[in-house]
Amino acid sequence: MRIAVCPGSFDPVTNGHLDIFERASKMFDLLIVAVFQNPNKKPSFSMEERVAMLEAATAHIPNIKVDGFSGLLTDYVRQQDTNIIIRGLRALSDFEYEFQRALLIKKVDPVMETVFIMTSSEYSCISSSGIKELAMFGGSITGLVPVSAEDKIVQRLAGI
Give per-residue pLDDT as tens, 19-69.
999 999 999 999 999 999 877 778 999 999 999 999 999 999 999 999 999
Check residues 11 and 42 and name the one with the higher pLDDT: 11
Per the annotation, the verdict on 90 as an active-site residue is yes
The fraction of the chain above a pLDDT of 90, given in percent, is: 88
Catalytic residue among 25, 44, 128, 132: 128
Strand 30-36: give its sheet, edge to edge: 64-69, 30-36, 3-8, 84-89, 113-118
pLDDT band at 160 (very low <50, low <70, confident <90, very high): low
pLDDT recorded at residue 36: 93
User: Averaged over 118-122, what is the pLDDT?
Assistant: 93
Residue ranges of the binding site for substrate:
9, 41, 73, 87
pLDDT recorded at residue 24: 98
pTM above 0.95, yes or no: no
pLDDT recorded at residue 52: 97
pLDDT recorded at residue 91: 81
Catalytic residue among 41, 46, 70, 140: 41
Catalytic residue among 17, 25, 50, 132: 17
The fraction of the chain above a pLDDT of 70, given in percent, is: 99
User: Averaged over 85-100, what is the pLDDT?
Assistant: 90
pLDDT recorded at residue 88: 95
Per the annotation, the verdict on 93 as an active-site residue is no
Catalytic residue among 65, 90, 101, 156: 90
| Number of domain units in the chain | 1
**CATH code of the domain covering residue 109:** 3.40.50.620
Residue ranges of the binding site:
9-10, 17, 41, 73, 87-90, 98, 123-129
Residue 2 pLDDT > 80: yes
CA separation (Å) from 131 to 25, 73, 97? 24, 25, 21
pLDDT recorded at residue 159: 65
Taking the C-alpha atoms of residue 19 and residue 9, their distance in angstroms, rounded to an integer, is 16
Contact 54, 13 (CB under 8 A): yes
Per the annotation, the verdict on 41 as an active-site residue is yes
Range of the domain at 153: 3-158
